[in-house]
Amino acid sequence: MLKNKKLAGAVVSEKTNIPNKKIEENGLPGIRMESRDLTVKYGTVTGVKNISLPICNEKVTALIGPSGCGKTTFLRSLNRMHDITRNATVSGEVLLDGRNIYHPKVNPVDIRRKVGIIFQKPTPFPTMSIFNNVVAGLKLVGIKNKKLLNEVCERALKQAALFDEVKDRLNSPGGSLSGGQQQRLSIARALAIEPEVILMDEPTSSLDPQSSSKIEDLIHELKKNYAIVIVTHNLQQAGRVSDNTGFFYLGELVEFGETEKIYTNPANKRTEEYLTGKFG
Amino acid sequence: MSVKKNTAIQNMRKDVEIMSELILGQLRELDNLLTSGELCMESEKKKKFRETEKTIDEYEIKISDEFINIISLHKPVASELRMVIACYRLSINLERIGDMALKILRILLEIKQHPNIKDFIDEISNMLTLTNNMVEKSILSLFNNDIEYAIWTLKNDDIIDEINKKMIKKIIKKNRGQLSDSQTLSNFINIKIIVSNIERMADQATNIAEASIYYLKGEDIRHSDITSVESELEKPSSDKNE
């Protein structure tokens, strides 16, 4: 049965289209995740330093800045991907629902289930069927119930706005889809395990404008149920899709605030210069 | 920085500056006409005034096209966006000032023969001089990044409103009992139109000052009380001067 089926940290409910509830911990309503004085180093080289940034429910947070400024480093630290990076050390805290994900007792696998990530290039398993691509995460934790897998697959594909395009060929390989469809398939796979936060690392940089537009529409739909963080080099895209924007430069968070404010009247001179193309 | 975007914005700004110069020239002509007290203008000057008005209209269309192109092609943000928006708002207000200046000129030249106008000429002249100053300073505030000039303009709008009210009262008082005479009534209406148009030109100047403040501070202070926003505006803008 679907109801309250435990997935080692994730909960699949019948009302799967509303997986997240607002939390009001730390006295900050709507904050799902938060970094506090987060510093990531690669050996002696500092990737990001002292980053404190809130990630809110039902909001899209865009991270912008020139190449090498630490956006992706910061993003990857939000689901402990640096655990598998050699020489990488992380200090400070990342709170998810008020709990530090870097606490020694926290299992990073659980964190990665709660914090899904979409990469720059679509990452479907090319020979695996579309269906198996979507439910790969569930199968990995031992879910075998076919009815449940079917329902989760349909729900995730619908959420990723891909179902209508692939419903008649769920057994076709993931690699047979177009680039834009593959990226939405990657998103569906991330959604299937019902994460709380979705991280997107330049999710449209390898897509054509039409596919990019579909992903942007999808982000707009998904934010109703998830907290989303997106790294993008496309300033117009960041302006279109996000509610809050953080500007990174040389590993520091220079400015964070509402996107409208940042784009019309940034408080910091460096943000102004980056946005107007004076550097970067 | 995108050279193409920068050039497009600079070209728009340059056109607004030219349009501003044309408007200020028209206002100076009007001021000279009133200051001389003769209310006479050579036909050559009249012709030039009308031609300039046409040129101003053409600039409004040109600037509007430039604005659309910059927004659609270059997607400016931050101070560049504010500059483009401010320039566009400026061009709309300048065009209206140009229309009003032409209307005032037409009426002044129509009623020049009538003695009633002489009783009001000094007050109208003073009102126009102050309004011209407001228009000039509001424009300069944008192009010289001078918030003080914008605030000065906004403060003087109340003075113009006060002069306008006093003038209307004076016109009514002077013409009391004579309004059955069609010529007097016509002059009364004409003087009222002149004064109202000058007052509306001052309103356009305040619009320009507000556009300038939007560019300089990123604050939209339209429909706000100037005394309440003045102290806020004088604060330095966070760490932009770092």
CA B98 to chain centre: 8
| Dihedral in degrees, nearest 10, Cα atoms A88, A91, A95, A101 | 50
Contact A265 B75 (CB under 8 A): no
Residues 6+ apart with CB under 8 A from B134: B153, B156, B157, B160, B202, B205, B206, B209
The answer, for A8 touching chain B at a CB cutoff of 8 Å, is no
Q: Is B234 helix (H, G, I), strand (E, B) or coil?
A: coil
Torsions phi, psi for A60 (to 5 deg): -105, 125
| The pLDDT of residue B2 | 78
Chain B positions in Cβ-Cβ contact with residue A264 (cut-off 8 Å): 77-78, 81-82, 218
**Which amino acid would we find at residue B117?**
I
Tally helices (H) and strands (E) across chain A. Answer: 10, 12
- For residues B188-211, one letter each, b for 16 or more C-beta atoms within 10 angstroms of the residue's C-beta and e for the rest, the string is bebbeebbbbbbbbbbbbbbbbbb
Top pLDDT among A62 and B190 is at: A62
Helices within chain B (DSSP H only): 3-36, 43-69, 78-110, 121-143, 147-175, 182-217, 226-233
| The pLDDT of residue B209 | 97
The C-alpha of A259 sits at a distance from chain B's nearest C-alpha, in angstroms, of: 11
- Are A267 and A279 in contact by the 8 Å Cβ rule? The answer is no
Residues 6+ apart with CB under 8 A from B104: B30, B128, B194, B197, B198
The answer, for A87 touching chain B at a CB cutoff of 8 Å, is no
The C-alpha of A276 sits at a distance from chain B's nearest C-alpha, in angstroms, of: 6
Size of interface A-B (CB pairs under 8 A): 46
- Asked whether residue A267 is domain-assigned, the answer is yes
Out of B5, B217, B240, name the one closest to residue A272 (CB).
Answer: B240
Residue A129 DSSP symbol: B
User: A16: part of which helix (H) or strand (E)?
Assistant: none
Top pLDDT among B30 and B39 is at: B30
- Asked whether residue A100 is domain-assigned, the answer is yes
In the block, residue with structure tokens 């320009």? B208
Out of B1, B217, B240, name the one closest to residue A277 (CB).
Answer: B1
The C-alpha of A174 sits at a distance from chain B's nearest C-alpha, in angstroms, of: 37
Count how many domains chain A has: 1
| The pLDDT of residue A9 | 35
Where in the sequence is the domain holding A199, given as residue range(s)?
25-123+194-275
- Asked whether residue A264 is domain-assigned, the answer is yes
pLDDT of residue B241 exceeding 70:
no
Provide the pairing of β-strand A244-249 with A60-64: parallel
Chain A positions in Cβ-Cβ contact with residue B218 (cut-off 8 Å): 264-265
Q: Provide the 10 A C-beta neighbour count for residue A4.
A: 9
The domain segmentation of chain B, as residue ranges, is 3-231
pLDDT digits (tens, 9 = 90+) for A181-199: 999 999 999 999 999 999 9
The answer, for A268 touching chain B at a CB cutoff of 8 Å, is yes
CA distances from A23 to A74, A75, A80 (A): 23, 21, 22
Q: Rounded mean pLDDT of B124-129?
A: 93
The C-alpha of A277 sits at a distance from chain B's nearest C-alpha, in angstroms, of: 4
Can you give the pTM of this predicted structure? 0.81
Contact B77 A268 (CB under 8 A): no
pLDDT of residue B82 exceeding 50:
yes
d(CA A35, CA A186) in angstroms, rounded, equals 26
CA distances from A207 to A63, A165, A183, B60 (A): 19, 17, 9, 40
Q: Rounded mean pLDDT of B145-169?
A: 92
Contact A275 B75 (CB under 8 A): no
Q: Which A positions 232-251 lie with beta carbon below 8 A of chain B?
A: 235-236, 239
pLDDT of residue B195 exceeding 70:
yes
Would you write out chain A's pLDDT as a tens digit for each of its 280 residues?
333 333 333 333 333 333 333 434 444 458 999 999 999 999 999 999 999 999 999 999 999 999 999 999 999 999 999 998 889 999 999 999 999 999 999 999 899 989 999 998 888 998 999 999 999 989 988 889 999 999 999 999 998 989 999 999 999 999 999 999 999 999 999 999 999 999 999 999 888 898 889 899 999 999 999 999 999 999 999 999 999 999 999 999 999 999 999 999 999 999 999 999 987 7
Given pLDDT bands bounded at 50, 70 and 90, which one contains residue B169?
A: confident
Top pLDDT among A71 and B232 is at: A71
Contact B1 A265 (CB under 8 A): no
Point out which residues pair with A33 in neighbouring strands: A55, A96
d(CA A128, CA A107) in angstroms, rounded, equals 28
pLDDT of residue B138 exceeding 50:
yes
Tally the residues of chain B: 242
| The pLDDT of residue B121 | 86
| Residue of chain A whose Cα is closest to the Cα of B3 | A277
| The pLDDT of residue B237 | 59
CATH number of the domain bearing residue A45: 3.40.50.300
Query: What share of chain A has pLDDT > 90, as a percent?
Result: 74
pLDDT digits (tens, 9 = 90+) for A240-275: 999 999 999 999 999 999 999 999 999 999 999 999
Question: What's domain B3-231's architecture?
Answer: Up-down Bundle (1.20)
Q: Is A224 helix (H, G, I), strand (E, B) or coil?
A: coil
- Asked whether residue A63 is domain-assigned, the answer is yes
| The pLDDT of residue B114 | 64
- Asked whether residue A98 is domain-assigned, the answer is yes
| The pLDDT of residue B142 | 96
Contact A267 B242 (CB under 8 A): no
| The pLDDT of residue B179 | 64
d(CA B48, CA B35) in angstroms, rounded, equals 19
Q: What is the ipTM of this complex?
A: 0.75
